[in-house]
Chain A
Amino acid sequence: MIKYENVGVSFSDFEVLKNISFHVKKGDFLHIVGPNGSGKTTLVKTLVSLLKPTHGIIHINTKNMGYLPQKLNLKNQIPMTVQEVIYSGFNKQKLIPSQDDCQLIKKWLLKMEIPELFNQSMNFLSGGQQQRVYLIRALISNPEVLILDEPTSALDPSFREKFYKLLYEIQQEHQTTIIHVTHDLTDAVKDDCKIMYVDQTIRFLGSYDAYHEFEHRGHHHV
């Protein structure tokens, strides 16, 4: 589904990522971890075509992708409702959303435990509520590949657990490939997921059990 062959990204003389090679199969759940400034978000930007790699080849076998950026580009002075923002994540958009489209949005708001926000202005929402709205925007078109860059940073711990449960349900139900960048693997991992540790290059890629071993060795060996 996704294949990276020797991908590197440089800004001027500074090499942010080098020799990145991996592949992700349909239905995989990959967690990307690494220290601050390790290139995780740069890697995500190459995945969602916001950044062209300086060298190497990226193959992505689908056009139906969902994406939650790390920094939400919120401009507080823009009047827009929750419904308008979520509708902008639909693959096919009309001038006026249909009844079915509105129902689907309401269904997702209910899943995310914010059903009352349908017609609410985005500017009046808390950071956590806004993040849930942008999550729905990423999920609403049933993407084949879902890319989440620190999706739970503004969510409260009680909802975080439910959120990961929901993600695993989506993965099981639709065979969605999920790539998840995080600082905190608590609540996020299940036995069959993969972990990638990035620090300029891939230092580790494997199962969660193997990652434990890697951690104990102090991140020094691949």
Chain B
Amino acid sequence: MFELLQYDFIINALFIGITLALSAALLSPYLVLNQQAMIADGLAHVSFAGLVLSVLLTNEPLYIAIPFVMIASLLIKYLAATDKMNGDAAIGLVASVSFAIGLILIKKSSGFNISVESMLVGNIFTATRADIILSVIVSILILIFVFLFYRPLFLMTYDLNYAKFSKVKTNILGYGLSILTAFFIVIGVRTIGTLLISALVVFPSIISSQWTKSFKMTLIFGVISSFVIVIMGIFIAHPLEIPVGSTIVVLYTILLILLLVTKKLLRR
């Protein structure tokens, strides 16, 4: 295992994997425990169209994709905040429209030279220096956001009305959370893939809430389990030549099953 560390692409993959794991685990309880887990999946679909547009217009995948997905995340939040539709419907609407536009653009553009499969599955071993820098930036931003607003975000998660009563700026914090999620998703889609990036957000809270009773410990154990699984995923996927994203999801599922079985056995 340690001989793999002599390769730059493995070091890069570990670096980007750890920073993405940190970002995902920090966002996880505020999205998953607040029934907004599907926003990550929806934004991943949006980022597919964003990346396609970006490559076609600038030949650089992230220039247009980042603002594109951020705007989409704000649109979802806005649509969900109005009485016209609920959050799930807003995510489904924006995500499917974006994904459809992305596929049409690929089909009708002669200059698109990236395979659709690579965008759906991603490849962490081809991460560029720009990917690493952006991944570090997004994880630092999310870390600061969660540290600064840990208490109001917690209150918003478990009792939105009381948060409003307590004069928490629920709209501003909600939009902040959406923008950071969008930023994380765009970076993550390039490396983990459109189809599986949301798993990185969904699993940490589900895993840690199985064996912690406080919100704080859910956050901390989510970060720890996320680090362990992502690092294991990289080391297992490379020699077996299987996608890292899929390996991470399978490892998370095994861990979840083990925890659920242990919990059941301990209760007997």
Asked if residues B216 and A77 are in contact (CB atoms below 8 Å), the reply is: no
Interface: B256 (CB within 8 A): no
Q: Which residues on the A side are within 8 Å of B161 (C-beta)?
A: 50, 69, 73
Give Cα distance in the complex from A106 to B129, angstroms. Answer: 52
CB distance from A142 to the nearest CB of B (A): 15
CB distance from A204 to the nearest CB of B (A): 28
Residue of B34, B154, B218 near A88 (CB, 8 A) is B154
Asked if residues B150 and A73 are in contact (CB atoms below 8 Å), the reply is: no
Q: Which residues on the B side are within 8 Å of A123 (C-beta)?
A: 213
Nearest residue in A to B33 (C-beta to C-beta)? A78
Interface: A163 (CB within 8 A): no
Give Cα distance in the complex from A81 to B216, angstroms. Answer: 9
Q: Which residues on the B side are within 8 Å of A67 (C-beta)?
A: 162, 165
Interface: A75 (CB within 8 A): yes
Asked if residues B150 and A95 are in contact (CB atoms below 8 Å), the reply is: yes
CB distance from A208 to the nearest CB of B (A): 29
A residues 49-63 with Cβ under 8 Å of B?
49-50, 63
Known contacts A73-B159, A85-B158, A88-B151: does B218 contact A79 (CB below 8 Å)? yes
Residue of B147, B160, B165 near A95 (CB, 8 A) is B147
Asked if residues B213 and A79 are in contact (CB atoms below 8 Å), the reply is: yes
Interface: A172 (CB within 8 A): no
Interface: A150 (CB within 8 A): no
Q: Which residues on the B side are within 8 Å of A48 (C-beta)?
A: 165
Q: Which residues on the B side are within 8 Å of A207 (C-beta)?
A: none
Residue of A50, A87, A95 near B164 (CB, 8 A) is A50
Residue of B160, B209, B214 near A84 (CB, 8 A) is B214
Interface: A93 (CB within 8 A): yes
Nearest residue in B to A94 (C-beta to C-beta)? B151
- Tell me the dominant secondary structure on chain A's binding face: loop
Asked if residues A50 and B165 are in contact (CB atoms below 8 Å), the reply is: yes
Q: How many B residues face the partner with a CB closer than 8 A?
A: 27
Give Cα distance in the complex from A117 to B151, angstroms. Answer: 21
Asked if residues A73 and B151 are in contact (CB atoms below 8 Å), the reply is: no
Q: Which residues on the B side are within 8 Å of A50 (C-beta)?
A: 161, 164-165
Give Cα distance in the complex from A85 to B131, angstroms. Answer: 39
Chain A's interface size range is 20 to 34
Q: Which residues on the A side are within 8 Å of B78 (C-beta)?
A: none
Interface: A114 (CB within 8 A): no
Known contacts A84-B154, A85-B158, A88-B154: does B215 contact A79 (CB below 8 Å)? yes
CB distance from A55 to the nearest CB of B (A): 21
B residues 139-195 with Cβ under 8 Å of A?
147, 150-151, 154-155, 157-162, 164-167
Give Cα distance in the complex from A121 to B210, angstroms. Answer: 12
Interface: B212 (CB within 8 A): yes
Nearest residue in B to A91 (C-beta to C-beta)? B166
CB distance from B220 to the nearest CB of A (A): 12
Interface: A210 (CB within 8 A): no
Interface: A1 (CB within 8 A): no
Asked if residues B165 and A75 are in contact (CB atoms below 8 Å), the reply is: no
Interface: B217 (CB within 8 A): yes
Q: Which residues on the A side are within 8 Å of B160 (C-beta)?
A: 73
Residue of A49, A78, A93, A119 near B215 (CB, 8 A) is A78
Give Cα distance in the complex from A125 to B214, angstroms. Answer: 14
Q: Which residues on the B side are within 8 Å of A80 (C-beta)?
A: 154, 158, 213-215
Q: Which residues on the A side are within 8 Å of B167 (C-beta)?
A: 63
> Which of A72, A75, A77, A79 counts the most chain B CB atoms within 10 A?
A79
Give Cα distance in the complex from A88 to B161, angstroms. Answer: 13
Q: Which residues on the B side are within 8 Å of A73 (C-beta)?
A: 158-162
Asked if residues B155 and A88 are in contact (CB atoms below 8 Å), the reply is: yes
A residues 73-115 with Cβ under 8 Å of B?
73, 75, 77-81, 84-85, 87-88, 93, 95
Asked if residues A79 and B165 are in contact (CB atoms below 8 Å), the reply is: no
* Interchain residue pairs with CB less than 8 A apart (18): A49-B164, A50-B164, A72-B159, A73-B160, A73-B161, A73-B162, A75-B33, A75-B35, A75-B158, A77-B33, A77-B209, A79-B209, A80-B158, A84-B216, A95-B147, A120-B213, A121-B213, A121-B214
The 3 closest A-B pairs by CB, nearest first: A121-B213, A93-B151, A81-B214
B-to-A contact residues, CB < 8 Å: 33-35, 147, 150-151, 154-155, 157-162, 164-167, 208-209, 212-218
